[in-house]
Amino acid sequence: MHDIAIKIALIGAAGIAAQWLAWRLQLPAIVLLLIAGFIAGPATGFITPAADFGEIYRPLVSLAVAIILFEGGLSLNFREIRETSKAVRRIIILAGPMVWAMTAVSAHVIGGLSWPTAIVLGAVLVVTGPTVIIPLLRQAQLNSRPASILRWEAIVNDPIGALFAVLSFEVILVVFGRHQVDNLLALVTIGMVIAVGGGLAAAKAIEWAFARGHVPEYLKAPVLFASVLGAYALTNLALEEAGLLTVTIMGVALANTRITSLTDMRRFKETITTLLVSGVFIILTASLTPADIVSLDWRAALFVASLLVVIRPVAIMIATIGAGLTMQERLLTAWIAPRGVVAVAVSGLFGTLLLDAGVEDAGRMTAFAFAVVVTTIVLHGFTLGPLAAFLKLKQDSKPGILIVGGSRWSTTLARKLKEIEVPVMLADPNWNHLTEARLASIPVYFGEVLSEQAHHAIDPKRFANLIAASDNEAYNALVCTDFGPELGRSNVFQIGRSEDTGRQSINFTLGGRPLALPGAGFHELRERLLSGWTFQITRLTDEFNWDTYQQTRADNAMIMFWIKPSGAIIFASVSGSKPQANDRVLSFALPRDEARIEAIRAANAAGGIAGTSEAHGPADPNLSSTTASDRDSNR
Q: For the chain, what are the domain ranges?
A: 2-257+269-390, 400-511
Cβ distance 150 to 133 under 8 Å? yes
pLDDT score, position 629: 33
- At residue 626, φ and ψ (nearest 5 deg) are -135, 165
| Averaged confidence pLDDT in the chain | 80
Quick one: which H or E segment has residue 200?
A: helix 181-211
Q: What's the count of helices (H) and strands (E) in the chain, helices before strands?
A: 28, 11
Among 538, 560, 564, residue whose Cα is nearest residue 551: 538
Residue ranges of the alpha helices (H) in 110-180?
A: 115-124, 130-140, 144-175
The answer to whether the 2-257+269-390 and 400-511 domains have the same CATH topology is: no
How big is the chain, counted in residues? 635
**Distance (Å, whole) CA 408 – CA 43:** 63
What stretch of H or E contains 81? none
CA pair distance 282, 7, nearest whole angstrom? 11
Tens of pLDDT, residue by residue over 547-595, are 888 888 877 888 888 988 888 888 888 877 888 889 999 999 888 654 4
Q: Which residues contact 558 (CB under 8 A, 6 or more apart)?
A: 516, 520, 587, 588, 589
Collect the ranges in the chain with pLDDT lower than 50: 500-507, 594-595, 608-635
Count of other CB atoms within 10 angstroms of residue 311 = 24
DSSP string computed for 370-408: HHHHHHHHHHHHHHHHHHHHHTT-B---S-EEEEE---H
- The half-sphere exposure of 141 on its side-chain side, counting CA atoms within 13 A, is 15
Note whether 7 and 51 are within 8 A (CB).
Answer: no
Predicted confidence at residue 468, as pLDDT, reads 92
CA distance 479 to 474: 9
For CA atoms 316, 317, 321, 323, give the dihedral sign.
positive
Question: Collapsing DSSP states into helix, strand and coil, what is residue 463?
Answer: strand
Kindly report, residue by residue over 272-292, the tens digit of the pLDDT.
Answer: 777 887 888 888 788 777 777
Considering the domain 2-257+269-390, what is its CATH architecture? Up-down Bundle (1.20)
Q: Per-residue b/e over 590-606, b at no fewer than 16 CB within 10 Å?
A: bebeeeebeebbeebee
pLDDT of 35 = 87
Distance CA 77, CA 255 (A): 6
What confidence score (pLDDT) does residue 328 get? Answer: 92
**Which of 158, 173, 166 is closest to 188 using CA atoms?**
166
pLDDT value at residue 101:
93
Distance (Å, rounded) from C-alpha 273 to C-alpha 13?
15
Q: How far is CA 298 from CA 167, 371, 397, 515, in A?
A: 30, 12, 40, 60
**CB within 8 Å of 181: residues ≥ 6 apart:** 174
Segment (H or E) for 84: none
Residue 66: the pLDDT is 82
CB 332 within 8 A of CB 265: no
Q: What is the DSSP letter of 287?
A: T
Query: CA-to-CA distance for 113 and 364, rounded, in angstroms?
Result: 8
**Residue 218, Cβ density class (10 Å: 0-12 exposed, 13-18 middle, ≥19 buried):** exposed
**Helix (H) / strand (E) containing 465:** strand 463-468
Assign 584 to helix, strand or coil: strand
Domain 400-511 sits in which CATH superfamily?
A: NAD(P)-binding Rossmann-like Domain (3.40.50.720)
Q: What is the per-residue pLDDT for 506?
A: 46
The three-state DSSP-derived secondary structure of 205-226 is HHHHHHHCCCCCHHHHHHHHHH
Q: Residue 11: in which H helix or E strand, if any? A: helix 2-25
- Respond yes or no on whether the N-terminal peptide bond of residue 518 is cis (omega within 30° of 0): yes
Please state, for a pLDDT cut of 90, what percent of the chain lies above it: 15
